[in-house]
Amino acid sequence: MKSIKELSTETKILDRLKNIPICLEMVKYLFADEELQEMQEYANNVSIRRLGFNDHGPVHMRQVVGNAIKMLNILHEAGIRTSLEIEEIGTFEDSMCAVILAGLMHDLGMAIGRQGHEEMSVLLAQPIIDRTLLHVFPDNLHRRVIIKSVATEAIIGHMSSRKIHSIEAGILLIADGCDMTKGRARIPMAINTTPKVGDIHKYSANAINRIGIHRGERKPIKIDIEMSGDVGFFQIEEVLLTKIDSSPSKEYVELYAGVAGQERKCYL
């Protein structure tokens, strides 16, 4: 059974796609896919209970999709075209479909382990991507091929360990980095109490109160982060900034962060 957080995040995603019927059909199909749900939940079990990492399951993957949809919509409204549009080989809707697929499957490889999990995610995601695209675009091989290719690039590039080249994959990379609030660290903080190497990631994420994604003032997308303590700067500088720096979409993002009640620091 899906959690309240999963369902509420799904509702937000559906609302953001209400004017893009083909993408709306795709997410409804994916949200109803029982195998995908089981894979997301098992990946989260391995991540949290076996390895002691933060949430990498259904809530996180939905949150990343929500972030990516919001960012792509902002770029679209600002008149900035995606890579598929620039290359005149696909539409904005195709780009949106690709980031949706990637967002909902980018961490499936955590079911196997942390090391190289992006490659494992690609392997596990392919059958689901294929059947989803066949359902949504049964008579359009061209769209199935380009969407699958961009989605695969986004999945395999979401850790900044491999060079990516499309705006779509770049947006997914940043969207993943933006899911680092205290809710994501809540379960591992509660069940893993023995100190160990890597705990700084949990403690820093636990200091992130809120991440806002809005239309920017100097650039199209503004990311605004509020923290409860300075330890949150670790998460921003070591995780989010690393992803933004590696993203082909970096030029479209401005980034602010600070402790609640204090002046924000401008990173980008």
Q: How high is the pLDDT of residue 198?
A: 53
Q: How high is the pLDDT of residue 182?
A: 65
Q: How high is the pLDDT of residue 204?
A: 78
Q: How high is the pLDDT of residue 189?
A: 46
CA distances for 76 relative to 99, 122, 154, 253, angstroms: 14, 27, 19, 14
CA distances for 223 relative to 24, 98, 124, 141, 156, angstroms: 25, 22, 31, 36, 24
Residues lower than pLDDT 70 in the chain: 182-202
Could you give the residue ranges of the DSSP H alpha helices within 115-181?
117-136, 141-156, 167-177
- Identify the H or E element spanning 48: none
Q: How high is the pLDDT of residue 202?
A: 65
User: What are the tokens at 197?
Assistant: 């190497």
Q: How high is the pLDDT of residue 54?
A: 79
pTM above 0.85, yes or no: yes
Q: How high is the pLDDT of residue 195?
A: 55
Q: How high is the pLDDT of residue 162?
A: 94
Cβ-based burial of 92 (10 A; exposed 0-12, middle 13-18, buried ≥19): middle
Query: Which of 169, 34, 54 has the alpha carbon at shortest distance from 101?
Result: 169
Angle at 150 between CA 147 and CA 151, to 5 degrees: 80
Per residue in 112-125, pLDDT (tens digit) is 999 999 999 999 99
